[in-house]
């Protein structure tokens, strides 16, 4: 149960780390509370995948995260860059969404049709891979378990502990009537993306220097 | 017939002049009290700046009342304030800290001057952690947190976002550069970008809450280029410094010249976006008389802050971002735009609302900027007479 309590204790920090990505995204979509809840669930599933990947990494701690501090910066710098790229495309792209009336079987159009549903999952995944302070505690806790199953279970409970703090987030749907807010939120997502891009580049440079 | 008309005109002019003098008198007395209340300064280097500032302030106010034009005289003060602020701030900083470079030790000692730009970033962390996420002094010292908050609250209640045209000591820079060309080279800017300041606000508020540090000051403030800068100790600081200069050159110099708009204030500044909401509670606003308006769009073209567009003109109001500079009021060829006090009847021919606004606004400008102008002139005189701006 240590993972659950750690999640409950540090969940506000997790929310703070996810908020710059999640809040502009949800407001930018301009959906109601119910649809926001659905998107949040998809986001959280993505985040769960990120956490579980972390659990595996924590199990492999000696190889990748513990001794391999050289690679840590490269890996997390890379995830920051992917997250930044997604946010910037989402925030600054002026192209309209895929039009369902256009029927085409090409792979790219199928992808374009699926992309809006996939985006929160992907955002959740890469946000889940953010190296925030509670994560260091969780990695240490999971590494202590010594087994892959123990590590996965630790992170699963940690995920549930932190998720509690995300419950009020769908209420952002009450702002959906403000069309301007949608535009502001999308631009904000792009701006946050710029910040993450810089963090990613700095981490990668740091990692390369240590090689 | 024509003689009596001339006589009537003369009487009207005389009456107008008398009322202008009477209306200027309180400002003349208030500024006199403000400047010599603490006693006459010693030495010509201190006396001359005081006299020059006093005359400058009152001539501008008199002209503002006499001509009925607001923006021209406001801008003269506003731009002078921004230039002298930089001179005064830099020299004071060198005297206080010995350098413009902000070291980690200075931050640890809380010797970073607090400015109003930081205010939106401090609110969430202050609520969550009960700390001000800024390495400045809460009380006492140069530009402390408590003084800046008090001034900001006062200005917000009195002026709303008018603060950005009547109080901000940075705003005069892009205002000044936006006036250099007669005609703009870039005429069309997508409406989408006018929402960017709000997006930057959302981003920096969230990121400041996440990192518990003033993100805007660390990464995005263009005015770092002309105030203080962090000691270059790492590649991060190098990138930050490059960003400050790039933003300053782009948003404060180049784009204002090309667009004739205040691009830093209207397209980027998150404090301005935050301040926009205070227009909702501020009693003053700008209104357009739809019965007189000919939809010529001159006001929208001339508005330096992107606060007028076709929609807002149709509604007879400005957008939320209006900084109450008065440019639209001055330039409307039909005289269809006027200052208005909320809750009062729309009487577009009345000067009362304008007077009610420009009195506190100008007084705030005098209180906030008078000292800067005086010190700026003093430093220039010091440079001329001794070869150094530092005492």
Q: Which residues of B touch A16 (CB under 8 A)?
A: 209-210
A-contacting residues in B 125-154 (Cβ below 8 Å):
128
If DSSP codes are grouped into helix, strand and coil, which group holds residue A58?
helix
What does the pLDDT average to over B38-43? 81
Judged by CB atoms closer than 8 Å, whether chains meet at B235 and A19 is answered as no
DSSP conformation letters of A99-156: PTTS----HHHHHHHHHHHHHHHHHHHHHHT---HHHHHHHHHHHHH-SHHHHHHHHH
Is-contact B174 B79, C-beta < 8 A? no
Q: pLDDT tens-digit profile of B366-379?
A: 988 999 999 999 99
Judged by CB atoms closer than 8 Å, whether chains meet at A19 and B236 is answered as no
Q: Which residues of A touch B212 (CB under 8 A)?
A: none
Residue B230: enclosing H or E segment and its boundaries?
strand B229-230
Q: What is the number of alpha carbons within 13 Å of residue B5 lying toward its C-beta?
A: 2
Residue A140 pLDDT exceeds 90? no
In which residue are the tokens 């409307």 written? B332
**Chain B residue with the nearest C-alpha to that of A188:** B199
Q: Say what percent of chain B tops pLDDT 70.
A: 97
Higher pLDDT, B16 or B259: B259
Domain positions in chain A are 2-210
Q: Does B239 touch chain A (CB under 8 A)?
A: yes
Residue A98 pLDDT exceeds 50? no
Q: pLDDT tens-digit profile of B187-235?
A: 889 888 999 999 999 889 888 887 888 888 888 899 988 888 777 888 7
- Between A12, A17, A187, which is nearest B195 by CB? A187
- Between A23, A187, A190, which is nearest B206 by CB? A23
CA distance A9 to chain B (A): 15
**Chain A residue with the nearest C-alpha to that of B206:** A20
Angle, alpha carbons B104-B106-B109 (nearest 5°) = 110
DSSP conformation letters of B68-118: ---HHHHHHHHHHHHHHHHHHHHHHHHHHHSSSEE-HHHHHTT-SPP-GGG
In which residue are the tokens 């530009």 written? B143
B-contacting residues in A 69-108 (Cβ below 8 Å):
91, 94
CATH 3.30.70.20 fits B283-341, yes or no: yes
Domain positions in chain B are 14-86+351-391, 100-282, 283-341
């Amino acid at each position: 149960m240590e993972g659950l309590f750690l999640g409950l204790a540090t969940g506000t920090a997790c929310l703070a780390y996810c908020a710059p990505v999640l809040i502009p995204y949800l407001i930018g979509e301009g959906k109601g509370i119910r649809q926001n809840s659905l998107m949040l669930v998809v986001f959280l599933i993505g985040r769960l995948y990120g956490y579980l990947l972390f659990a595996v990494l924590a199990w492999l701690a000696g190889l990748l995260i513990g001794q391999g501090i050289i690679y840590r910066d490269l890996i997390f710098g890379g995830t920051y860059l992917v997250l930044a790229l997604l946010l910037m495309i989402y925030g600054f792209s002026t192209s309209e969404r895929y039009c369902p009336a256009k029927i085409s079987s090409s792979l790219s159009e199928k992808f374009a049709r699926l992309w809006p549903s996939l985006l929160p999952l992907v955002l959740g995944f890469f946000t889940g891979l953010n190296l925030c302070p509670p994560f260091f505690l969780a990695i240490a806790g999971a590494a202590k378990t010594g087994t892959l199953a123990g590590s996965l279970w630790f992170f699963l409970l940690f995920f549930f502990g932190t998720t509690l703090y995300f419950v009020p987030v769908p209420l952002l749907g009450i702002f959906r009537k403000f069309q301007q807010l949608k535009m502001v939120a999308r631009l904000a997502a792009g701006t946050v993306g710029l910040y993450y891009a810089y963090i990613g580049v700095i981490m990668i440079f740091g990692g390369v220097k240590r090689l | 017939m024509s003689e009596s008309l001339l006589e009537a005109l003369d009487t009207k002019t005389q009456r107008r002049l008398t009322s202008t003098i009477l209306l200027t008198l309180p400002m003349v007395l208030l500024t006199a009290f403000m400047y010599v209340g603490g006693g006459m300064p010693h030495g010509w280097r201190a006396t001359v700046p005081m006299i020059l500032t006093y005359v400058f302030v009152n001539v501008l106010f008199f002209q503002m009342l006499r001509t009925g034009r607001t923006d021209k005289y406001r801008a003269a003060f506003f731009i002078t304030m921004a230039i002298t602020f930089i001179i005064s701030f830099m020299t004071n900083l060198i005297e206080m800290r010995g350098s413009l470079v902000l070291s980690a030790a200075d931050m640890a000692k809380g010797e970073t001057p607090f400015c109003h730009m930081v205010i939106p970033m401090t609110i969430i962390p202050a609520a969550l952690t009960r700390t001000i996420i800024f390495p400045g002094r809460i009380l006492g010292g140069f530009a402390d947190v408590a003084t800046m908050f008090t001034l900001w609250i006062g200005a917000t209640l009195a002026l709303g976002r008018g603060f950005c045209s009547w109080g901000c000591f940075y705003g005069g820079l892009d205002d000044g550069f936006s006036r250099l060309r007669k005609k703009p080279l870039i005429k069309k800017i997508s409406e989408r970008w006018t929402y960017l300041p709000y997006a930057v606000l959302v981003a920096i508020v969230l990121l400041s809450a996440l990192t518990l540090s003033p993100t805007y000051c660390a990464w995005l403030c263009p005015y770092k280029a002309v105030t203080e800068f962090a000691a270059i100790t790492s590649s991060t600081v190098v990138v930050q410094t490059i960003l400050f200069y790039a933003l300053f050159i782009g948003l404060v110099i180049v784009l204002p010249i090309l667009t004739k708009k205040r691009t830093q204030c209207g397209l980027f500044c998150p404090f301005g976006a935050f301040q926009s909401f205070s227009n909702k509670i501020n009693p003053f606003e700008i209104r357009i008389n739809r019965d007189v308006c000919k939809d010529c769009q001159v006001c929208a073209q001339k508005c330096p802050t992107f606060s007028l567009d076709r929609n807002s003109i149709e509604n007879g109001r400005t957008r939320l971002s209006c900084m109450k500079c008065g440019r639209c009021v001055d330039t409307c060829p039909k005289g269809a735009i006027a200052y208005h006090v909320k809750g009062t009847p729309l009487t577009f021919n009345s000067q009362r609302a304008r007077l009610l606004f420009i009195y506190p606004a100008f007084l705030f400008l005098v209180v906030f900027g008078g000292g800067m102008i005086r010190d700026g002139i003093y430093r220039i005189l010091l440079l001329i007479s001794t070869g150094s701006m530092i005492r």
